[in-house]
Amino acid sequence: MALCWAGWAFAVPITDGDDWSGTYYKGNKIGFNHARVKVRQDSISVHTKMYFRLKSGQTDQSTILTQDTTLTPDLRLKGFVLLQEIMGKRQEVVGRVQGSQLTLEISGRGFHKKQSIDFPPGIHPSATVWLNIMKDGFEVGKKGKLNLFIEAFRMVMPMTYEILRQETIQFDGKKVETFVIQQKFSGMTTTLWTTPEGDVLRELSMTDFESIREPKEVATRLGDKPMSVSSFITLSLVKIKQPITASDNKERLKLKLSNVHSPESIPQDHRQRVIKTEKNGEESYTTTLLIEREPRAPVQLVSLPVPTSQHKDYLQDAPEIQVEHPLIRTLALDLVKGQNDAWKAAKLISTWVYDNLDKVLVDSFTALDALHDRRGECQSHTNLFTALARAAGIPTKVVNGLVYSQEFKGFLYHAWPEVWVGEWRALDPTLGQHHVDATHIKLSEGNYAGALKLMEFIGQVNIELLEQ
């Protein structure tokens, strides 16, 4: 059915609203979203909640993100409160705009810090960006660009959108006229179907997540059997046709990665080299990659603490990596007591983390959580190692990527650290490797920027084994 909207710009008025939607991953319901808007004379208040329910064995892995955002009538940010909860662990971020500065107060287990960042006009909180698109109006062919502040990561990132077409869809047993809008952000593409009134009926991402508008009682009905973490991992597994033998001792691999977002998507370092990149279509590339095992020892010995000004940022504490906490500092100094060689000290810390944390599919926010609970997956091991290594005076960064799993016969998304000991060296305290094997494919760096960048690969990238 053709619609008669061509050439019309629908500037949608922002009014009070209370919307719910169910969240699905590859057809499996895993949670819900809630958004409530209240319009006042001098402000707009927006309450958002995202709930994801997963289970690891008998352990509840539910994750809840709740945010209350206050905007001016013209949609400029006044302030927000974000509460992130996972397995009973909590982290709160409070933001207030003062002039051209955003003051942030971050609190969590063993961590409380204030900081200010530049916040010039034209930056919008990600939790309320849909209101900006509505305000600009719906018109087929319209394109826009918005600078988003990602509250959970405290980062500003660009997002583009385009109103692709008009489309009549079947929804709730009726034909509904919609605009189809495509959003692109940090290598991810999301498609939305919205009514002319701004009600989003469906949202579909390339990573197989889907949100469908539902009544509250339907959206919050999740069933008796929550999706297991292992099932979620299996669904995000990158399978290959030919298994890799003795992967934990693999010295060298040649791989082809397809459906890569850009020719610069795959990082290179001393261990990982891009041989060639071929363009397959718009924002689709194939990269041939040669990866080698981490060398046994650094080229030179470096004393502890590492004398460096170049990498001092990798000694800092962070909300997830509480370098300054007394428990972290005391344990770090105890582990490396009497050790003057930075590389040997890093291996001592890695061994302790591997030996003292149970390998279970449960998540945690921080290094301190991992230390208290003595269990976790790769992120828990990596955060704790990073905190201890930095506290011992070793510059350390978090790396995100893929590693081959003999159990699953494919590549799983994974995190591990790299330490600066005169050169960057990769270890894996989750797998007990002092020099990581060649199946460790590095895709990004950093807790925040790295996690965002990793999203462009999940559910998209394919891997072909060329040589092993």
DSSP for 181-220, written as a single string: EEEEETTEEEEEEE-TTS-EEEEEETTSEEEEE--HHHHT
The sign of the torsion formed by the CA atoms of 22, 261, 414, 392 equals negative
CA-wise closest residue to 188 among 139, 261, 137: 261
pLDDT above 90 covers a percentage of the chain that reads 71
pLDDT tens digits for range 322-332: 999 999 999 99
Q: Which residue has the tokens 């891997």?
A: 463
- What is residue 57's predicted lDDT score, i.e. its pLDDT? 65
pLDDT tens digits for range 342-368: 999 999 999 999 999 998 877 666 899
Q: Which residue has the tokens 């609970």?
A: 373
Helices 342-356 & 378-391 angle (0-180, nearest 10) = 140
Give the tokens for residue 153. 């990561």
- What is residue 3's predicted lDDT score, i.e. its pLDDT? 36
CA angle 233, 234, 240 (to 5 degrees): 120
Element (H, E) at 311: none
CA-wise closest residue to 438 among 316, 295, 240, 262: 295
Q: Which residue has the tokens 């981490």?
A: 294
CA torsion angle 34 39 44 47 (round to 10): -20
CA-wise closest residue to 412 among 226, 188, 240: 240
- Burial of residue 256 (CB within 10 Å: 0-12, 13-18, 19+) is middle
Model confidence at 222, pLDDT cuts 50, 70, 90, reads confident
Whether 424 and 417 have beta carbons less than 8 Å apart is answered as no
Across all residues in the chain, what is the average pLDDT? Answer: 90
Residue that wins the pLDDT comparison between 258 and 361? 258
Q: CB neighbours of 337 closer than 8 A, spacing ≥ 6?
A: none
Element (H, E) at 82: strand 77-86
- What is residue 230's predicted lDDT score, i.e. its pLDDT? 63
Amino acid at 216: K
What is the pTM assigned to this prediction? 0.89
Model confidence at 4, pLDDT cuts 50, 70, 90, reads very low
- What is residue 8's predicted lDDT score, i.e. its pLDDT? 45
Q: In the 8-state DSSP scheme, what is residue 329?
A: H
- What is residue 200's predicted lDDT score, i.e. its pLDDT? 96
pLDDT tens digits for range 162-213: 999 999 999 999 999 999 999 998 878 899 999 999 999 999 987 778 999 9
Helices 326-335 & 342-356 angle (0-180, nearest 10) = 120
Whether 211 and 24 have beta carbons less than 8 Å apart is answered as yes
Q: In the 8-state DSSP scheme, what is residue 422?
A: S
- What is residue 10's predicted lDDT score, i.e. its pLDDT? 54
Look at residue 6 and tell me whether its pLDDT is greater than 50: no
Query: CA-CA distance, 386 to 240, in Å (whole number)?
Result: 31
Q: Where are the domains of the chain?
A: 17-227, 238-467
CATH number, domain 238-467: 3.10.620.30
The total number of residues shown for the chain amounts to 468
pLDDT tens digits for range 236-251: 789 999 889 899 999 9
Residue ranges in 5-157 assigned as alpha helix (H)? 129-136
pLDDT tens digits for range 94-118: 999 999 999 999 998 888 889 999 9
